[in-house]
Amino acid sequence: MAVALVCGGGGALGGAIVDALRARGDRIVVADLHPPAAGDDVRAEALDLTKPDEVEALWQRLAADGEGPQWVVNATGGYRDGTVADTDPDTLDFLDNLNLRTAWWSCRSAARHLPAGGAVVNVGSQAAVAGGTGTAAYAVTKAAVVRLTEVLAAEAGAQGIRVNAVLPSLIDTPANRATLPASVLAHAVPAAQIASVIAFLLSDAAAAVTGAIVPVYGLGA
């Protein structure tokens, strides 16, 4: 049974990713500041993914327990509005930590410990490549995740490790349903559909795919 580490597995998209990987028989490790309850095939690990020492310690614990991951998903992230002109330092630090640094530290440990044949999927955003206004710090930090994916794919290929990213647009989540109008939600992509793309990228069927930046915008994008 392969072990899949889902960082940010406590969120709506993270939960859908956990469900998709469990359905195909993977053993799941959920790493989150506030992870969901553990189960027979789910191990819950509470840690601050912005802290490199805590991330590396997690990998050491998993290896010691014979549960070193083969698959890694970096789904931790956050969003705040703002233009370049009105973004304050606290907002930039918050989004840099949550969007980029969580992915960076997880990717660093994955590059050190994943076996040949392993794979990483990072979760970026359509905003990373589409520009637009009002999402400056979010778009820039997610764009950094895209470049991190491309760089690590080049570095880790010699180790037999694949690294890809998915770029969701608006995700159909309970939080978005509670705050957004129906006209906007009509274009939202169900989290389960995004999770199915991630599950494909974390499979032998995608053995020839690395360095890919995959849009999952839905048909109405």
Give yes or no for a contact between 161 and 191, defined as CB atoms under 8 angstroms apart: no
Residue located via tokens 């053995």:
207
Distance between CA atoms of residues 158 and 162, nearest Å: 10
What Å distances lie between residue 181 and 172, 175, 177, 189, 193, CA to CA?
Answer: 12, 12, 8, 15, 21
Q: Give the SS3 label for residue 22.
A: helix
Asked if 79 is an active-site residue, the reply is no
The dihedrals phi and psi of 35, each to the nearest 5 degrees, come to -70, 155
Q: Which of 10, 102, 138, 170 is catalytic?
A: 138
- Active-site residue set: 138
